[in-house]
Amino acid sequence: MSKKLWFYLGFFVLLLGVFYLAIFWGTDLWRKKLPVMNEVKEFAFVNQLGDTVTNQQVTGKVQVVEFFFTTCTGICPKMNTNMKDIVKNFAEEEDFIVLSHTVDPDKDSVARLKHYADSMKIDPAKWMLLTGTKEKLYEAARKSYLLDDQKNGLDPIADQFIHTQLFALVDKSGRVRGIYDGLDKKELAKLNDDISLILKERYDGPRFVNGIFQNNPN
């Protein structure tokens, strides 16, 4: 094959590469992707300020989600110390928030959550402590965030108690993209990396299909 033909062949390959780069640049198609594990169902809970928070209000933000209770003296203080570091790492990210749900709503009133938040110097704009009915909170933990085994919901709700050290990572479209051990340093490091990753993902906003709000833009 002549040098001239090699030159034209190389030039064609270069043009083809530039063409595909022009097409995919500015999209998420070239980036590493985390799997989609589940979609968060609609919810309405109350935060430490007494304000109702819905899934629609946090859509568009990357969320780290946990379940805890304020009187816990075991894993919860360690989890929330680690969560505080995560919040600090992304304090300047407008599209990032933490949602901490109580698993003991009978004791964890709005006032108690506010006291707990104040004791930890939590910024409610970056970290919401949420309460609601036990049924809805536990349903969210199991069916939305996959942080507890579905089989644990077979007992009467009064006999159930979720106590998990797992964190869920939710993208801007309300999809669970990862589950992490909130007490494991390696998993926490991966969580930080994955937050950075999905913060860079393009988000075109929620869709409305036949007048109905849709959380998934795909």
Q: What distance in Å separates the CA atoms of residue 64 and residue 202, rounded to the nearest whole number?
A: 18
Q: How far is CA 66 from the centre of its chain?
A: 9
What is the CB neighbour count within 10 angstroms for residue 38? 16
Residue identified by tokens 């009915």 is 133
Q: How many residues does the chain have?
A: 218
Cβ partners under 8 Å of residue 87, min gap 6 = 98, 122, 123, 126, 127
Binding-site residues for Cu cation sit at 72, 76, 163
Binding residues: 72, 76, 163
E strands, 103-217, in order: 127-130, 166-170, 175-181, 207-209, 212-214
d(CA 171, CA 63): 6
Q: Taken in order 4, 10, 13, 15, is the CA torsion positive or negative?
A: negative
Determine the pLDDT at residue 194.
98
* pLDDT of 7: 55
The one-digit pLDDT tens for each residue of the chain (218 residues) are 566 655 556 555 566 554 544 444 454 444 568 999 999 999 999 999 999 999 999 999 999 999 999 999 999 999 999 999 999 999 999 999 999 999 999 999 999 999 999 999 999 999 999 999 999 999 999 999 999 998 888 899 999 999 999 999 999 999 999 999 999 999 999 999 999 999 999 988 775 434 444 544 44
Name the pTM for this structure: 0.82
Contact between 160 and 139 (Cβ < 8 Å) = no
pLDDT on residue 114: 98
What is the 8-class DSSP label of residue 157? G
- Per domain, the residue ranges of the chain are 38-204
Q: Answer for the pair 171, 62: CB distance below 8 angstroms, yes or no.
A: yes
* 3-class secondary-structure state, position 78: helix
163 alpha-carbon distance from chain centroid: 19
CB atoms closer than 10 angstroms to residue 210: 5
> Which CATH number is associated with domain 38-204?
3.40.30.10
